[in-house]
Structures are given as structure tokens and as C-alpha cells.
Amino acid sequence: MKRVLVTGFEPFDGDSVNPSWEVARRLDGWRGAQHAVVAQRLPCVFDAIREALDMLLTDVAPDVVIAVGLAGGRPDVSLERVAINVNDARIPDNDGAQPIDRPVVAGGPPAYFTTLPVKSMLHRLRGAGLPAQVSNTAGTFVCNHTFYTLRHLAETLHPAVRRAGFIHIPFLPEQAARHPGSPSLALDSLVVALRIAVETAVEVETDMQLAAGALH
Ligand code: PCA
């Protein structure tokens, strides 16, 4: 039985909902033959992330961590490949902090790759009729900060975390209605997508490699 921690974020940028938490909380308590999910909400605050994650990794003791965040304007479920060691905030976080060109971890490596099997996830998501991409940037706001911090903690203080990574999701339709022209995905589809992501992370030991172009 593998323990899976799924995190979502509180609303930010003046919004009243964040689909990442709406999806995560619907997975809370979900058990399969090989896994049990615990969902937790994270604040959209740079300075709160390290302590919050450190506590969660200690308390939940997960084998797998999937952090989820909103990327409003993107059309696909974005399987993030890489976290970079920079905070460069376009808007203030929920505490009013707006770091510019600051490291996430001073002296840390420039980047960490995901340890989730993102190509296998991509294959399964598309096979289920869901729009998905492997993304090569998680941005430079709180989501990238969270992804980098998560991978850094897994590499340093929490080696029992065998797989950790980040997934960005699009707006919900009701959010897109306030951002005309923006793509969206229904909550039910997002829940299916995250269930597939969890199952793939639990089941797949070695990520798939297909011929160039087959999964881009
Ligand atoms: N998305 C933001 C932070 C919280 C969230 O859901 C981001 O992409 O950084």
C-alpha cells in the first residue's frame, strides 16, 4: 500500500476558488488496491511553503507526492518536468510578498527534474480523452517554488518520498467565464485526470520512452 499526498492551493490573485484544491479535496481518502490518498491545502504564500511541506512529509509519510496548482490560460493538464531555483513573482502572493530574482533555496541546484512518470501519465491521459502536455516550465511564482521545495526536501530531509512532482491544471468553466477567451476544463474531468495521474505514479516503476515525436 502506497501513501499518496495530493496538495492543492487556496485561491489567489483575488479569485474565490482554486480548482487545484477543489480537485485535491475530492481525492482525499480515495483508496485503491495499491494506494491511499491524503489531500491537503497549501497557502499561496512563498514563505509558508517550506514549513508546511516539511510538516506534511513528516506527518503523512508519503511514498508519492503530487502537488497541483492552477495555470489559468493554459488549455491542457500540464505535467511539469522541471522546477527551477528562482522566485520571480509577477503578482504579490497572499501575504503581499513579491520576490524578484530570488533563489528558492540559496545554494541549491539550479533545477530539479520531476520524479513522476510524466510520459506514462501523458499517454494514459490522452488515451482517456483528456488534453495533456508535458510542460517544461512551472513558472516562477508559488507553484514553481512549491515544486522546487518539494523536490529539495525529498532529496535532502525526506528520502522516503520516492516520487514527487507538480501538475498544473486549467481554469474551471466558471472561472473562464470571467476571463473571456480562456480555455477551461470541467471539475469532473480534472478529477478523472488526477485519478489517472495518481494511479500511474503508483503503478509505473520505469517511465516509458517512445520514439521522438510520439508523445509531444
Ligand atoms: N497557481 C499559482 C500559485 C498557486 C496556484 O494555484 C502558480 O502557478 O504559481
Whether the predicted pLDDT of 213 surpasses 80:
no
pLDDT tens, residue by residue, 9-36: 999 999 999 999 999 999 999 999 999 9
Helix, strand or coil for residue 31? strand
* Spatial separation of the C-alpha atoms in residues 166 and 158, rounded to whole Å: 17
- With a pLDDT cut of 70, the percent of the chain lying above it is 97
Q: What whole-number percentage of the chain has pLDDT above 90?
A: 96
Average pLDDT score over residue span 172-180: 96
pLDDT reading at 187 higher than 80: yes
**How far is 22 from 99, CA to CA, in rounded Å?**
27
How far is the C-alpha of 9 from the C-alpha of 204, rounded, in Å? 26
Beta bridge partners of 172: none
Which residues surround ligand 1 with Cβ inside 6 Å?
9, 12, 18, 20, 44, 69-71, 139, 141-143
Whether 190 has a pLDDT exceeding 70, the answer reads yes
Distance in Å, CA 199 to ligand 1 centroid: 24
pLDDT of residue 214: 67
- pLDDT over 80 (residue 183): yes
List, in order of start, the domains of the chain with CATH numbers.
2-215 (3.40.630.20)
Q: Which residue among 44, 169, 190 is best mutated to probe the pocket of ligand 1, counting the most ligand atoms within 8 A of its Cβ?
A: 44
Closest CA to 172 of 41, 21, 38, 43: 21
Positions annotated as catalytic residues are 80, 143, 168
Give pTM, 2 decimals.
0.97
Nearest to 38 by CA among 17, 69, 7, 10: 7
Backbone angles phi, psi at 152, to 5 degrees: -65, -45
Sign, CA dihedral 24-30-34-35, equals positive
Distance 200 CA to ligand 1 centre (A): 23
Burial of 103 by CB count in 10 Å (0-12 exposed, 13-18 middle, 19+ buried)? middle
